[in-house]
């Protein structure tokens, strides 16, 4: 703990943006892999107390305003965000954030709102494979057929991750064709009542209620594609239409976009230029680092907080210790992934 205290002092001039995806009222571990981006309310409240004690909560818009004016934000500034727009942001997280007077921003995947039963394409992939009956399944992917071994929970997790990572690297048409094939082979299990808090998206009425209370909203695109995989027309549609819809519903500016997935491979100069042209004033990535002086406003980094984050893990992330270790693991994972990307000529077992 002494190390973390020293690290906090050394990093006091750098800001942090943390992002959650959802907060659940209970700690349901039946599908912990599928819920890895969702924290329990009890843990979330501990996080808020920790952040309030050791950092200075700040609105994302105020943090961005400081950087746009080449001003240093207050020491140890931390902004809190949510990605995707799940209904539990309103039903579970919002009351806790109000109770602790913590400002926050929600990035909305606009096509998902007011659609009971809707699921992001990435979550459909994971859920279909992880909950597939049987000990193995043969899938048709864009690069060829693959046999996924599903005898254990660990094998199911590994198969789901690998397939998802491959589909993130192809164009939407090929991705959607593969998704149909995956759900045909694995099934698409209906959402059960105990899963609704996890999967249900916000309604626009809930969004307007939060906005009236001072919550900020940004774009997470229309349909959550990987922007670097889109052609020019689709890219423009995703960033322009999502911004237009949010501004139309809330009667206020949508100034920020959070890149879906958010790694350095998911956006580049073309995507940044498209955002500037659409009128966004900043964009946020998800590489897990802190923000120093004079950052690229269209590549503001964030730290993703998942269900595995204990108090010490959160402390390590916010001091930059965890980010360095995580970037090393990501570099190794990227290297391994490139080795596996050779076209498949025959069915392959995972």
Tens digit of each residue's pLDDT (9 = 90 or more) over 141-183: 998 999 999 999 999 999 999 999 999 999 999 999 999 999 9
Distance CA 301, CA 289 (A): 6
Band (pLDDT 50/70/90 cuts) for residue 346 is: very low
Q: Is the pLDDT of residue 76 over 70?
A: yes
Looking at residue 313, its pLDDT comes to 84
Binning the chain into helix, strand and coil, the percentages to the nearest 5 are 45, 15, 35
φ and ψ of 7, to 5 deg: -65, -40
The backbone region for 121, taken as left when phi is positive above 0, alpha when psi lies in -120 to 50, beta otherwise, is alpha
Mind giving me the DSSP string for 48-88?
HHHHHHHSEE--HHHHHHHHHTT-PPPTTEEEEEEEE-BTH
- Mind spelling out the 3-state secondary structure of 81-100? EEEECECHHHHHHHHHHHHC
Looking at residue 12, its pLDDT comes to 67
Question: Do the strands 38-40 and 256-258 form a parallel or antiparallel pair, or are they unpaired?
Answer: unpaired
End-to-end CA distance of the chain: 40
Q: Is the pLDDT of residue 335 over 60?
A: no
Looking at residue 332, its pLDDT comes to 46
Distance CA 216, CA 103 (A): 8
Question: What predicted TM-score, i.e. pTM, was given to this entire model?
Answer: 0.90
Band (pLDDT 50/70/90 cuts) for residue 347 is: very low
φ and ψ of 121, to 5 deg: -60, -40
Looking at residue 184, its pLDDT comes to 96
Question: Do the strands 144-149 and 136-141 form a parallel or antiparallel pair, or are they unpaired?
Answer: antiparallel
Over residues 206-210, the mean pLDDT reads 98
* Residue 285 contacts residue 262 (beta carbons within 8 Å): yes
């Amino acid at each position: 703990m002494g190390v973390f205290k020293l690290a906090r002092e050394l990093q006091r001039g750098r800001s942090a943006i943390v992002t959650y995806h959802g907060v659940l009222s209970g700690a349901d571990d039946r599908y912990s892999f599928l819920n890895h981006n969702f924290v329990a309310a009890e843990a979330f409240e501990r996080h808020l107390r920790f952040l309030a004690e050791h950092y200075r909560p700040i609105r994302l818009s105020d943090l961005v305003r400081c950087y746009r004016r080449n001003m240093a934000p207050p020491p140890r500034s931390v902004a809190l965000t949510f990605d995707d727009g799940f209904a539990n942001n309103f039903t579970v997280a919002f009351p806790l954030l109000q109770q602790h007077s913590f400002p926050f921003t929600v990035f909305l995947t606009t096509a998902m709102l007011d659609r009971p039963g809707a699921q992001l394409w990435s979550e459909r992939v994971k859920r279909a494979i992880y909950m597939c009956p049987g000990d193995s399944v043969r899938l048709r992917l864009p690069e060829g057929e693959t046999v996924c071994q599903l005898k254990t929970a660990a094998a199911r997790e590994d198969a789901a991750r690998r397939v998802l990572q491959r589909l993130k690297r192809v164009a939407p048409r090929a991705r959607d064709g593969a998704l149909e094939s995956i759900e045909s082979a694995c099934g698409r299990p209906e959402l059960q009542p105990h899963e609704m808090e996890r999967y249900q998206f916000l309604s626009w009425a809930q969004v307007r209620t939060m906005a009236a209370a001072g919550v900020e909203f940004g774009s997470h695109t229309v349909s959550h594609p990987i922007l670097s995989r889109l052609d020019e027309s689709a890219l423009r549609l995703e960033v322009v239409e999502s911004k237009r819809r949010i501004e139309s519903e809330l009667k206020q500016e949508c100034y920020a976009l959070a890149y879906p997935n958010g790694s350095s491979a998911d956006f580049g100069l073309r995507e940044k230029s498209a955002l500037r042209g659409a009128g966004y004033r900043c964009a946020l990535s998800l590489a897990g680092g802190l923000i120093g002086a004079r950052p690229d406003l269209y590549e503001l980094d964030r730290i993703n907080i998942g269900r595995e984050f204990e108090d010490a893990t959160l402390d390590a992330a916010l001091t930059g210790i965890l980010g360095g270790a995580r970037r090393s693991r990501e570099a190794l994972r990227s290297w391994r992934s490139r080795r596996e990307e050779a076209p498949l000529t025959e069915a392959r077992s995972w």
